Structure 1
Amino acid sequence: MQTEVGGTTDKVEELETTLTGKWRIRKQHKRSLVTLTESVQALQTTSSNMQTEVGGTTEKVEELETTLTREMENTKANKRSLEILTETVQALQTTSSNMQTEVGGTTDKVEELETTLTREMENTKANKRSLVTLTESVQALQTTSSNVMILNGEESAGNARCAKVCAGTTGRSSTSHSRYGSQDISIYVNISGCGFVKIPTITTSVEGRGGHDEATGTSSVYSATRTGFTMRFRRGHASHYATIYNWNVEWIAIGYTC
């Protein structure tokens, strides 16, 4: 029995030792379980936080995608604007070059115009001086009394300062006549070159190589006007004599030119 008790005691000790070891292991497992539980809880909390963060991150990602899309569109628009701006700059450069060329030509034209203008101004000054001199001369002539005195005439008197004596001839080889009746001839005398503004007083005479001394009407004036008058001569074969003897009318007219 002592032997059996001894063996039992050993087994009990062995069991106690085993049980003690198992209790230690159990305590360790319990601590590990507690640690594991805490770790799981920490992970759950972290997971929850991560889910929250992921939700926020997703929203941020979507927001970033929206912003990126908008920025890409803006970039495309800016690129197009840059292209348009580049084209505009090139066009402006071309225009500027053309304008510089035109400005160069315009400068030459301006200089030419300035030269012409200067010359014209000098001519204008010279003309002005000439005009002043001419005006002074006209004024001097207007203030000078005429040496011709007209007491009366066919019309009302003109300006006394414009009284003028004008004389002339129809010319020996240039006088033309026409028949007037069976024996008379008629000669028209043009005095328009005198510039009379009133009917003048006219004195006439006939000049020729012969035969006119026997003619009548050599001082007769018909239908006088400011520009001319008519004379009529009577003599047998008057037209024949007037032609072969070069009859012509010599005249003096006195009248007003203003």
Structure 2
Amino acid sequence: MVPGVSEHKSRGRRLSTESHGSTGQKEARDRIMLSIGLLSLRQGSALLLGLLLALRVPLGARGQNDTEPIVLEGKCLVVCDSTPSSEPAGNALGMSVRSGTGRVAFSAVRNTNHEPTDMSNRTMTIYFDQILVNVGKHFDHESSVFLAPRRGVYSFNFHVVKAYNRQTIQVSLVLNGWPVISAFAGDQDVTREAATNAGLITMERGDKAYLKLEKGNLMGGWKYSTFSGFLVFPL
């Protein structure tokens, strides 16, 4: 055996083996990157891909010389769904990857002439007994109080009519016990007059808003008086 030829063949086999190992590593890395990308898109979660890249998960593929494992490194592309069909409870990481604003709205009508007995004896909260819209069910029918489900900017408007009543009435939109906006109706020569107003207010989660009769005696229902509100946008 010729030493030069033997050494050349041996070096050729090593180069071929290393080249084959490098190609195998690249193919394995490409296949795994593609699989993770497809899994992330199918589940709507870029967090899974980002976590795997950040932790540098070692792969099982190794070169012929069994040296260091292949390590995934790179940047994560976040793909957003502009029209999510639902709000998932969470993913495998225990976190929600979508943030829906939610829909909150209510509208109620006063269809009775008198407050319920328990309300008239202890509060001046104006009672609205017929609900037209209650998206999210945050307007309480029994107390006529709206409970904010989240922090945000809310729009409110009210139209409270006094009928056949010469007394002046004053109505306030109350936030957590404090008047925010008010309106009054006091023309004695008009048989039907409305105290009406509207405005935007910032509410925290759990805040309460309702209408209060600050002055006068409210008589008459007949679906003349309304109280409505909705979430403009969350903060």
| TM-score between both structures, scaled by the size of structure 2 | 0.29
Q: Which has the higher strand share?
A: 2
Higher relative contact order (CA 8 A, sep 6+): 2
| TM-score between both structures, scaled by the size of structure 1 | 0.27
Q: Which has the higher helix share?
A: 1
